[in-house]
Structure 1
């Protein structure tokens, strides 16, 4: 044992023992990703990596670490594009098939292509389509940095993990937003979200925007699930993200519940305007808000709120950015000739007796939308809600 404050000399033999190195690092679990692409002849090629990681948000960059001797990486490097496929817990056989050298790696595996032409595997949790941004040497591996060209979640489910030389899995954290109490009604919300996930993913792909499912829990509107991604420059929604249930926020929930509880949060002179918002949403059957000078400030403030028990000071800061009388919330009319600075379009998911259960919101829309865009957002979300309601 060394003297206090003095470290023992490292065991260089142990550090250089590759089997021991692999054994120790195997105690750190990692996700399993299939790296797919094309060779110079256009044929699909693929490999498995447990070294995939995100690198940067602005610009969006990811990375993985292939061995320098990898023939698959050599092929991908020539064509300059690849797709990261996050494998699902039930895709262990796919992982094993792609990990084998030689043979028909894609035999029996369904796939399609997206932006770069690289294979996107059927059944993967998510895919990230990339072009090669940089390659760095690192010992017996390369560090390949990819520029993200497109990405999406196609099967929200538990991912496949690599741990101690074998495979494992874990329950998706998106099923339990941080700080949300496990009350019977909350469990029912999550059950409904599970049913919504595939349809939310399909809707976000069709619309090209983020689709968010929120629930009213006590005095907060909480994001329970999200799919897709917003326009560049807009902050994505975090699972568990909260916003205060106070006019003008949360009008869709107020429209199909006790709206007076919502209205009463305002001074008496502002309450008639809030009642009008809730009534307008109920009559239309959907909600819409417009972007404005302060909308990005509000989005940033909501994004900064902790997902677990935000303080009263943090909630007050958000409240200070709200204008209950703003005309950006639930505008009276939309006409076919308008170019509309839409911020959100939302619809209710109702229960058997008409009580509101969730709200589905199209978020992160382009700076300007047409009237036809508004109709498309609305009708797509209404169809998702209707399908779930019929199956409830």
Structure 2
């Protein structure tokens, strides 16, 4: 029965965490667990299940506090060190004390420092709940995973927001996800999709890796509906949506900047795709967006010119390109975007990347709706 139990439960992959604490004399100790879980957001409570046979858990319990260190894929050695039957499990491991004094290990994906809330017996394990004192992101990387009795790493495909529940939107997101994977593989770019959920722009899917400078933005997060973001939704949206997008630029928007943004939306519709910039720093985002679109005119990819332009030439910020995806009634329901085109794999030319992006948007429409344009 025990072997069968392990085989069946081994089909469920888990993350690997190091639970650490420090004694009154400053000695660090810890154990590895695959049972760490979030329990409550309000108030913030987490939990894990140490085995009753653990020799380290009684030491952790005695301190009244612990720190959960979420291990990265290249930290298997940390896991094995804390599982070893040796006196000093922290030999060779870098760490610093967290707010409770418990060790925060170097190189972890994240850490959650806690005080013990309760301990309940459950068969051959304990259920430990902890009140979160502090928590922070660590090094951007992929997580260490335990699966079928061995260690590995999680390699994500396009991540889809849990908040996407509408069946029609789900069909479209699934079609877009396939296109995002192909765009990423072919062009060496990162891809994302912003959809209209509950009347507001939401990041519904992305291929952003933990190493991306956008990794802090999660699938399901709202996308601010203002320049320089969500350009296709403003360009192909209703008059009310366009006005809202412009108004959200804020009171500091100069009249000539507003006029230039209106021209950019018109040019975007004629061209069939949009170029934009990162929103940081926000005080310069609109001027950088205008500059990037002015450069399109200079190199022949502006409002009226179909000629090619070199990607990134003379300082143009071409890292963000996006194309609209339309519903059968012609309304824009999603924006498909690519970023990170500075790499050689991007093809080297704005029109090549934009052309492939528009093809992907049309293919997603065809798969979802049977071809509408």
Q: TM-score range by the shorter chain?
A: 0.5 to 0.7
Q: Which residue of 2 aligns with 1:301?
A: none
- Do structure 1's residue 187 and structure 2's residue 184 form an aligned pair? yes
Please state whether the residue corresponding to 1:98 is helix, strand or coil: helix
Please state whether the residue corresponding to 1:56 is helix, strand or coil: strand
- Show structure 2 runs of 5+ residues with no match: 162-172, 211-215, 256-280, 293-311, 322-339, 345-373
Q: In 2 relative to 1, CA 57–193 (structure 1 residues): closer, same or farther, beyond 3 Å?
A: farther
Q: In 2 relative to 1, CA 54–346 (structure 1 residues): closer, same or farther, beyond 3 Å?
A: farther
Among candidates 152, 159, 180, match of residue 176 of structure 1: 159
Q: Which residue of 1 aligns with 2:121?
A: 137
- Show structure 1 runs of 5+ residues with no match: 1-13, 195-213, 228-235, 285-343, 359-387
Among candidates 103, 127, 147, match of residue 163 of structure 1: 147
Q: Is the 8 A contact 2:71 2:144 kept in 1?
A: yes
Q: Which residue of 1 aligns with 2:239?
A: 266
Please state whether the residue corresponding to 1:129 is helix, strand or coil: strand
> What is the count of residue pairs matched by the alignment?
252
Q: In 2 relative to 1, CA 226–131 (structure 1 residues): closer, same or farther, beyond 3 Å?
A: farther
| CA distance in structure 2 between the aligned counterparts of 1:167 and 1:101, rounded to whole angstroms | 19
- Do structure 1's residue 67 and structure 2's residue 51 form an aligned pair? yes
| CA distance in structure 2 between the aligned counterparts of 1:104 and 1:30, rounded to whole angstroms | 26
Q: In 2 relative to 1, CA 85–281 (structure 1 residues): closer, same or farther, beyond 3 Å?
A: farther
Q: In 2 relative to 1, CA 162–260 (structure 1 residues): closer, same or farther, beyond 3 Å?
A: closer
Q: Which residue of 2 aligns with 1:114?
A: 98
Q: Which residue of 2 aligns with 1:251?
A: 227
| CA distance in structure 2 between the aligned counterparts of 1:389 and 1:347, rounded to whole angstroms | 21
Instruction: Give the TM-score normalised by structure 1.
Output: 0.52
Q: How far has the Cα of 1:355 moved from its partner?
A: 4.9
| CA distance in structure 2 between the aligned counterparts of 1:135 and 1:86, rounded to whole angstroms | 21
Q: In 2 relative to 1, CA 90–274 (structure 1 residues): closer, same or farther, beyond 3 Å?
A: closer
Q: In 2 relative to 1, CA 87–124 (structure 1 residues): closer, same or farther, beyond 3 Å?
A: same
Q: Which residue of 1 aligns with 2:203?
A: 222
- Do structure 1's residue 239 and structure 2's residue 222 form an aligned pair? no
Q: How far has the Cα of 1:70 moved from its partner?
A: 2.3
| CA distance in structure 2 between the aligned counterparts of 1:226 and 1:346, rounded to whole angstroms | 27
Q: How far has the Cα of 1:44 moved from its partner?
A: 1.0
Q: Which residue of 2 aligns with 1:41?
A: 25
Among candidates 17, 22, 44, match of residue 6 of structure 2: 22
Please state whether the residue corresponding to 2:141 is helix, strand or coil: coil
- Do structure 1's residue 89 and structure 2's residue 73 form an aligned pair? yes
| CA distance in structure 2 between the aligned counterparts of 1:238 and 1:90, rounded to whole angstroms | 23
Q: In 2 relative to 1, CA 266–154 (structure 1 residues): closer, same or farther, beyond 3 Å?
A: same
Q: How far has the Cα of 1:221 moved from its partner?
A: 5.1
- Do structure 1's residue 357 and structure 2's residue 323 form an aligned pair? no
Q: Which residue of 2 aligns with 1:298?
A: none
Instruction: Give the TM-score normalised by structure 2.
Output: 0.55
RMSD: 4.3
| CA distance in structure 2 between the aligned counterparts of 1:261 and 1:106, rounded to whole angstroms | 57
Q: Which residue of 1 aligns with 2:84?
A: 100
| CA distance in structure 2 between the aligned counterparts of 1:279 and 1:355, rounded to whole angstroms | 25
Q: In 2 relative to 1, CA 172–120 (structure 1 residues): closer, same or farther, beyond 3 Å?
A: farther
Q: Which residue of 2 aligns with 1:205?
A: none
Per-residue deviation, residues 190-239 of structure 1 (Å, max 9, x unmatched): 97769xxxxxxxxxxxxxxxxxxx87679945275699xxxxxxxx9741
Per-residue deviation, residues 242-261 of structure 1 (Å, max 9, x unmatched): 55xxxx8233327xx68972
Q: Is the 8 A contact 2:201 2:225 kept in 1?
A: no
Q: How far has the Cα of 1:80 moved from its partner?
A: 0.9
| CA distance in structure 2 between the aligned counterparts of 1:390 and 1:237, rounded to whole angstroms | 21
| CA distance in structure 2 between the aligned counterparts of 1:71 and 1:54, rounded to whole angstroms | 24
| CA distance in structure 2 between the aligned counterparts of 1:103 and 1:282, rounded to whole angstroms | 64
